């Protein structure tokens, strides 16, 4: 009887999907018996939509604001085209990943392009865009479509691979070096960007033929991206030891999976603690002027079902004074011999932490350390004044007012209670 067979088939598939979801293995959209589409990004982050009669997947994906590049539709075990009608029992696997999420940045093997989640659109829209040329990737870096130190490391790495694949004409090596310089300069403070660029360039230039250069560049970039995820998970496990069940953590900016390839640094520590079964609450500062805290951290944690409360930056002192915060964890863009560079406002939080005796932790991979330099030698990126004059496209200050808009600040190392790395937790006095 085809009806019974169909029910057994879809029932089994739904059970498998449920199991994989529980295990955090995949990110799926599937169509249940009831013709509802369910989207689950991470545990707790499920959304449900009715499937209109005759809907195609293309239409559904538009409605869900999910990108098509990352979607495979399975019917009876075979991929089906996007323009076909949705059927009961169909399963769409968006991406098979280790951490139960889609990566922030990755390489599209078919098109030889760099794919990245456009973070400027979050939380309103989840969209993955493709960069097919070095200028388009540089634009994405400068406009913060891809941002956060480790994600910039991967962007730099894939950027050199992109330069190798998109180069036209002779002298691939010369072209590669030029493109590397342009990518490296796109944002000056996060050291991971130049780390990614230089590591891939160094390996790629060993290639004897143009083909070998391209192959080596891509393999090394992929290695950096994969390593990054592994490193964050290790870092998260070390950091989780610092958090007790029931504690509340304040974080600043976004040092989550969106600032990395996956998992996150500061938010990776929280994620790891939650995975160990600890109940952790998070206070996320909104992080003016570009609101990485409210737009990205709050969204990302909610996707994971982690308890997050949003506050404006000028509420940080009050929440600490009223005893609501047990620990502070932030990320880093660069750690020199004497200071931690991170999103503008981090220093202010560290001063408040000292005053209120709240431990102030920095979570960062070893690739963020720049121990040959000191604070004074680092260039702090200054961004366009319109980031303060406008909010969501609306003028909120006199159009011609002078603006000072540094994107980062430096916190002296002596004010950092511990640095959480993939190698373990470093404590003061820091001896590098
Ligand atoms: O300007 P951004 O959004 O790239 O700044 C990002 C930060 O300051 C992050 O806190 C830092 O890169 C750490 S990311 C793990």
Which residues are annotated as catalytic?
A: 333
How many whole angstroms from 144 Cα to the centroid of ligand 1? 10
Instruction: Give domain status of residue 221, yes or no.
Output: no
Question: In terms of pLDDT, which residue wins out, 66 or 266?
Answer: 266
Q: What percent of the chain has pLDDT over 70?
A: 79
Q: What pLDDT score was predicted for residue 36?
A: 52
Q: What is the pLDDT of residues 216-228, one digit of tens each?
A: 999 999 999 999 9
186 lines ligand 1 (CB under 6 A): no
Closest atom of ligand 1 to CA, residue 187? 4
295 lines ligand 1 (CB under 6 A): no
CATH number, domain of 396, equals 3.40.50.10470
Q: What pLDDT score was predicted for residue 127?
A: 85
Question: In terms of pLDDT, which residue wins out, 308 or 25?
Answer: 308
Tell me the mean pLDDT in the region 329-341.
98
At which of 58, 86, 101 does a domain end?
Answer: 101
Tell me the mean pLDDT in the region 195-212.
98
Q: What is the pLDDT of residues 399-409, one digit of tens each?
A: 999 999 999 99
Q: What pLDDT score was predicted for residue 88?
A: 61
Q: What is the pLDDT of residues 57-114, one digit of tens each?
A: 677 666 655 544 445 555 655 656 667 776 666 655 443 333 334 689 999 998 999 9
Whether residue 413 contacts residue 338, with contact meaning beta carbons closer than 8 Å, is answered with yes
Output the average pLDDT for the chain: 87
Instruction: Give domain status of residue 379, yes or no.
Output: yes
Q: What pLDDT score was predicted for residue 97?
A: 32
CATH number, domain of 25, equals 3.10.20
Instruction: Give domain status of residue 108, yes or no.
Output: no
* Poorest-pLDDT segment among 26-35, 89-98, 188-197, 258-267: 89-98
Q: Total domain count for the chain?
A: 2
Assess whether pLDDT exceeds 90 at residue 266: yes
Q: What pLDDT score was predicted for residue 91?
A: 56
Whether residue 410 contacts residue 375, with contact meaning beta carbons closer than 8 Å, is answered with yes
Q: What pLDDT score was predicted for residue 68?
A: 44
Pairing, β 360-363 against β 327-330: parallel
Instruction: Give domain status of residue 340, yes or no.
Output: yes
Closest atom of ligand 1 to CA, residue 192? 12
* Poorest-pLDDT segment among 92-96, 168-172, 417-421: 92-96
Q: Could you tell me the pLDDT band of residue 431, with boundaries at 50, 70 and 90? A: confident
Other C-beta atoms closer than 10 Å to the C-beta of 95 total 17
Q: What pLDDT score was predicted for residue 74?
A: 56
Q: Whose CA is nearest to atom 15 of ligand 1?
A: 255
How many whole angstroms from 113 Cα to the centroid of ligand 1? 24
Q: What pLDDT score was predicted for residue 94?
A: 46
Q: What pLDDT score was predicted for residue 253?
A: 98
CA 271 to chain centre: 13
Assess whether pLDDT exceeds 70 at residue 236: yes
260 lines ligand 1 (CB under 6 A): yes
Measure the CA dihedral 361/25/200/330, to 10°. -10
Instruction: Give domain status of residue 324, yes or no.
Output: yes
Q: What pLDDT score was predicted for residue 83?
A: 72
How many whole angstroms from 343 Cα to the centroid of ligand 1? 6
Pairing, β 394-395 against β 78-79: unpaired
How many whole angstroms from 127 Cα to the centroid of ligand 1? 20
Q: What is the domain range of residue 314?
A: 236-426
Give me the residues paired with residue 283 across strands: 250, 309
* Poorest-pLDDT segment among 43-57, 204-218, 239-253, 344-358: 43-57
Q: What percent of the chain has pLDDT over 90?
A: 72
- Mutating to test ligand 1, I would choose from 149, 256, 289, 409 the residue with most ligand atoms within 8 A of its C-beta, which is 149
How many whole angstroms from 149 Cα to the centroid of ligand 1? 6
Instruction: Give domain status of residue 179, yes or no.
Output: no
Give me the residues paired with residue 38 across strands: 30, 48
Q: What is the pLDDT of residues 120-166, one digit of tens each?
A: 999 988 888 999 999 999 999 999 999 999 999 999 999 999 999 99
pTM across the whole model: 0.80
Q: Whose CA is nearest to atom 6 of ligand 1?
A: 148
At which of 101, 123, 141 does a domain end?
Answer: 101
Other C-beta atoms closer than 10 Å to the C-beta of 212 total 12
Instruction: Give domain status of residue 202, yes or no.
Output: no
- Mutating to test ligand 1, I would choose from 143, 154, 235, 259 the residue with most ligand atoms within 8 A of its C-beta, which is 259
Distance CA(91)–CA(94), nearest Å, equals 9
Instruction: Give domain status of residue 275, yes or no.
Output: yes
* Poorest-pLDDT segment among 32-41, 56-65, 105-114, 249-258: 32-41
150 lines ligand 1 (CB under 6 A): yes
Q: What pLDDT score was predicted for residue 30?
A: 55
- Mutating to test ligand 1, I would choose from 120, 156, 332 the residue with most ligand atoms within 8 A of its C-beta, which is 332
How many whole angstroms from 330 Cα to the centroid of ligand 1? 9
At which of 80, 101, 122 does a domain end?
Answer: 101
Tell me the mean pLDDT in the region 294-323.
95
147 lines ligand 1 (CB under 6 A): yes
């Amino acid at each position: 009887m085809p009806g019974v067979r169909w029910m057994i088939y879809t029932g089994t598939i739904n059970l498998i999907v449920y199991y994989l979801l529980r295990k955090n293995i995949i990110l799926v959209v599937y169509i249940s018996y009831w013709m509802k589409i369910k989207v689950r990004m991470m545990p707790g982050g499920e959304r449900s939509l009715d499937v209109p009669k005759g809907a195609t997947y293309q239409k559904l994906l538009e409605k869900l604001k999910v990108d098509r590049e990352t979607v495979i539709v399975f019917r009876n075990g075979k991929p089906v085209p996007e323009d076909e009608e949705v059927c009961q029992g169909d399963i769409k696997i968006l991406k098979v990943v280790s951490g139960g999420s889609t990566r922030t940045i990755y390489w599209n093997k078919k098109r030889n392009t760099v794919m990245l989640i456009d973070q400027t659109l979050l939380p309103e829209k989840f969209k993955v865009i493709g960069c097919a040329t070095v200028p388009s990737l540089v634009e994405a870096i400068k406009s913060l479509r891809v941002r956060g130190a480790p994600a910039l490391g991967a962007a730099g790495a894939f950027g050199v691979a992109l330069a190798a694949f998109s180069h036209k004409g002779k002298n691939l090596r010369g072209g590669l070096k030029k493109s590397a310089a342009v990518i490296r300069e796109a944002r000056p403070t996060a050291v991971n960007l130049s780390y990614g660029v230089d590591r891939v360039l160094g390996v790629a230039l060993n290639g004897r033929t143009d083909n070998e250069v391209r192959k080596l560049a891509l393999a090394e970039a992929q290695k950096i991206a994969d390593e990054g995820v592994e490193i964050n998970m290790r870092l998260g496990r070390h950091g989780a030891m610092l958090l007790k069940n029931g504690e509340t953590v304040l974080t600043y900016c976004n040092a989550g999976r969106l600032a990395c390839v996956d998992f996150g640094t500061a938010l990776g520590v929280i994620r790891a603690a939650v995975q160990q079964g600890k109940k952790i609450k998070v206070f996320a500062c909104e992080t003016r002027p570009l609101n990485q805290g409210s737009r990205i951290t709050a969204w990302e944690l909610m996707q994971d079902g982690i308890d997050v409360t949003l506050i404006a930056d000028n509420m940080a002192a009050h929440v600490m004074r009223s005893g609501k915060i047990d620990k502070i964890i932030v990320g880093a863009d660069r750690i020199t011999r004497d200071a931690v560079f991170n999103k503008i406002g981090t220093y202010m939080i560290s001063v408040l932490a000292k005053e209120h005796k709240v431990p102030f932790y920095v979570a960062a991979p070893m690739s963020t350390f720049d121990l040959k330099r000191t604070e004074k030698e680092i260039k702090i990126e200054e961004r366009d004044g319109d980031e303060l004059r406008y909010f969501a496209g609306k003028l909120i200050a006199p159009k011609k007012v002078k603006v000072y808009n540094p994107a980062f600040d430096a916190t002296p190392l002596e004010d950092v209670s511990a640095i959480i790395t993939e190698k373990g937790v470093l404590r003061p006095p820091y001896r590098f």
